[in-house]
Amino acid sequence: MISWSSRKQRTVADSSTAAEYIAAVEASRECMWLRALLTGIGLAASAPTPILCDNNSAILPVSRPAIPCSCQTCRYMLALLRERVEDGDLILSRVRDVDNTADILTKPLASSCFARLRLFLGLH
């Protein structure tokens, strides 16, 4: 099952890491809702749901609690993500920049990169 949403973030981020945390928390909320829906209809997930992120500085603190977070808002979001990862509901994984399908909707790309990512979306 895939859920796709594209909109401006409601919160202003002061760094790319904070923006990634905001996006990851929003994705985790949607993911938890979808997992509850599937469980409700008798299709409980047997493995953690992957959330892909292209920012290592946003991924590492989730998996390594010893790494500090700089702002209060980020600490709150980090705590939410850590809890969901520790509960086994989610796994935050790195997606390479060249494989990040979302870039087709958010960045100007070279025509070869655009064509490659377009194929990932199933468009020809």
Dig out the tokens for 122 from the structure: 């199933």
pLDDT tens-digit readout, 30-43? 889 999 999 999 99
Q: What is the pLDDT of residue 57?
A: 77
Phi, psi of 49 (to 5 degrees): -85, 125
Structure tokens that stand for 46 in this block: 């047997």
Counting Cβ atoms within 10 Å, is residue 18 exposed (0-12), middle (13-18) or buried (19+)? buried
Task: Judge if pTM exceeds 0.85.
Answer: no
pLDDT tens digits in sequence order for the chain, 124 residues long: 566 666 777 777 777 777 888 888 888 888 899 999 999 999 988 899 998 888 887 787 777 766 666 666 677 778 888 889 899 999 988 988 888 888 888 889 999 999 999 998 888 8
Domain ranges of the chain: 16-96
